[in-house]
Amino acid sequence: MNSSTPSTGVYANGNDSKKFKRDRPPCSPSRVLHLRKIPCDVTEAEIISLGLPFGRVTNLLMLKEKRQAFLEMASEEAAVTMVNYYTPITPHLRSQPVYIQYSNHRELKTDNLPNQARAQAALQAVSAVQSGSLALSGGPSNEGTVLPGQSPVLRIIIENLFYPVTLEVLHQIFSKFGTVLKIITFTKNNQFQALLQYADPVNAHYAKMALDGQNIYNACCTLRIDFSKLTSLNVKYNNDKSRDFTRLDLPTGDGQPSLEPAMAAAFGAPGIISSPYAGAAGFAPAIGFPQATGLSVPAVPGALGPLTITSSAVTGRMAIPGTSGIPGNSVLLVTNLNPDLITPHGLFILFGVYGDVHRVKIMFNKKENALVQMADANQAQLAMNHLSGQRLYGKVLRATLSKHQAVQLPREGQEDQGLTRDFSNSPLHRFKKPGSKNFQNIFPPSATLHLSNIPPSVTVDGLKNLFIEAGCSVKAFKFFQKDRKMALIQLGSVEEAIQALIELHNHDLGENHHLRVSFSKSTI
């Protein structure tokens, strides 16, 4: 809420709800989200649970008589990730669809409002869970919290396996909660099981909280999830039974595919998306989404639902719900760019945070649009999930899968103005080295940047001035205690940090040191 708005403004005028018309231009991103059509009997904890997988929830205002709520996230980037996730996949609470969009308000001030005690109590309970001091109220006592030394590896058992569940299906479900590094699938005691390793134990914790007990397909394929005693997985082969997403160089081994593509396609009918065969095999068709054909997971109160998996994932290819691009494609269409400031090199550096960019083409006749070709479809999905909806040079960037399979280089003599660049042999690729630690340090855009490769002669003021000269406002700075080659710098906004990363990654600091810049999950 703007500072000029009285603290009861959200409650009194409800001006967000009046503008929920189809022709209304979308609000610019805000960390405050407006939810409508919430069930009358929904609890505060259930509303908060919608935001939990995406970051910390800092405030809540329930307007039950209007069937609306306002949810404030700790950061704008968490809100953007949440909206991006729920745009193609309408969330459900108590089996009713709930609609989410950005609020006009920048923050939520509820200090002077009546009936806030329950909301604050729910927020405090969740905050205690997130800080690791107690288990989620209302959940089973073994739900646990993110304890020191907790494993980032989950053990997944799938009960009532009436339909095949592929490695790709698991990847698409679990990657909603963070970067999945490795998956191994196997059959033990006549049960289909999997081990899945996240980059961070926090991701594993949220995935377990949200998904344990959920059905992948209607009334079957139930997920039973526990933490594994293993802290890391050793994957030898990349095939349909095991995958190391950090090692694209692994052999496939001689294992036979666990499911022929034609068989998978036949089984793909009652999947996680609205079934094209209504009531196939006696199962009630799930709720359909206009953007994709596939099946929905029946919603569980307080959990993420419904999850949507595109039919192509069932047949072993990755795709994103709600896009018309080619599933499994590594080319992204990036739109709504600032044509005066964007360059192929800028897009290469930014998208290079989430994968190795091979080619970039800014459209000759429409310079606010560009094509970005990543090394593979997994990296393209990662970049799209993290960057779509972020602000860059004053505009909200949009990224979707392209219909193009590759970015074509201009023919010799063809006018291009340097708008198409081939970066396939660039020394700046972050993920070229198999098994690189960079795979474990992939985070959403944030106002705090991680700096590394700093030479001993560079001072705090020297680094601060570098960012100030790039047009940033520096809010905080600190060197790592154990390693002065690394530091954290907190800037005025996520947009500033994105622009600083584009401008200053690989900046020459002298002494043969080039600055490395990444988004950080930490704050100062």
* Ranges 16-20, 221-225, 285-289, 456-460: which has the least confidence: 285-289
- Determine how β-strand 516-519 pairs with β-strand 448-452: antiparallel
- Note the pTM of the prediction, 2 decimals: 0.51
Higher pLDDT, 62 or 498: 498
Domain for residue 249, yes or no?
no
- Residue 306: asked if its preceding bond is cis (omega within 30°), the reply is yes
pLDDT of residue 120: 77
Residue 34 pairs in a beta bridge with 70, 101
pLDDT of residue 451: 96
What 8-state DSSP symbol labels residue 289? B
CA-CA distance, 108 to 116, in Å (whole number)?
A: 12
Q: How many residues does the chain have?
A: 524
If asked whether residues 383 and 457 sit together in one domain, one would say: no
Domain boundary among 190, 214, 244: 244
Domain boundary among 244, 267, 290: 244
Section 171-197 average pLDDT = 88
**Three-state DSSP class for 156?**
strand
What 8-state DSSP symbol labels residue 64? G
pLDDT of residue 149: 66
- Determine how β-strand 57-63 pairs with β-strand 68-73: antiparallel
Tens digit of each residue's pLDDT (9 = 90 or more) over 309-337? 333 333 332 233 333 345 568 999 999 99
Residue 452 pairs in a beta bridge with 516
If asked whether residues 451 and 398 sit together in one domain, one would say: no
Residue 157 pairs in a beta bridge with 193, 224
| Nearest of 86, 90, 93, 87 to residue 67 by alpha carbon | 93
Share of the chain above pLDDT 70, in %: 75
If asked whether residues 119 and 165 sit together in one domain, one would say: no
Number of domains in the chain: 4
Please check whether residue 206 is in contact with residue 176, taking contact to mean a CB–CB distance below 8 angstroms: no
pLDDT of residue 248: 77
pLDDT of residue 133: 35
CATH of residue 378's domain is 3.30.70.330
Section 419-439 average pLDDT = 86
Section 139-147 average pLDDT = 41
Range of the domain at 505: 443-519
Domain for residue 365, yes or no?
yes
Res. 408: pLDDT tops 50: yes
User: Residue 394's CB: how many other CB atoms inside 10 A?
Assistant: 10
pLDDT of residue 275: 27
If asked whether residues 119 and 159 sit together in one domain, one would say: no
If asked whether residues 403 and 450 sit together in one domain, one would say: no
**Three-state DSSP class for 506?**
coil
Residue type, 174: F
**Three-state DSSP class for 112?**
coil
pLDDT of residue 439: 74
Domain for residue 315, yes or no?
no
Domain for residue 388, yes or no?
yes
Domain for residue 277, yes or no?
no
In the numeric block, which tokens belong to residue 428?
């700046």
Domain for residue 512, yes or no?
yes
Please check whether residue 370 is in contact with residue 400, taking contact to mean a CB–CB distance below 8 angstroms: no
Domain boundary among 393, 422, 451: 422
Domain for residue 253, yes or no?
no
Res. 137: pLDDT tops 60: no
Domain for residue 314, yes or no?
no
Say if residue 62 is exposed, middle or buried (CB neighbours under 10 Å; 0-12, 13-18, 19+).
buried
pLDDT of residue 521: 83
Give kind and range of the element (H or E) at residue 372. Answer: strand 370-374
CA-CA distance, 403 to 49, in Å (whole number)?
A: 35
pLDDT of residue 125: 62
In the numeric block, which tokens belong to residue 518?
């990444």
If asked whether residues 404 and 452 sit together in one domain, one would say: no
DSSP assignments along 441-490, one per residue: ------SEEEEE---TT--HHHHHHHHHHTTPPEEEEEE-SS-TT-EEEE
CA distance from start to end of the chain: 25
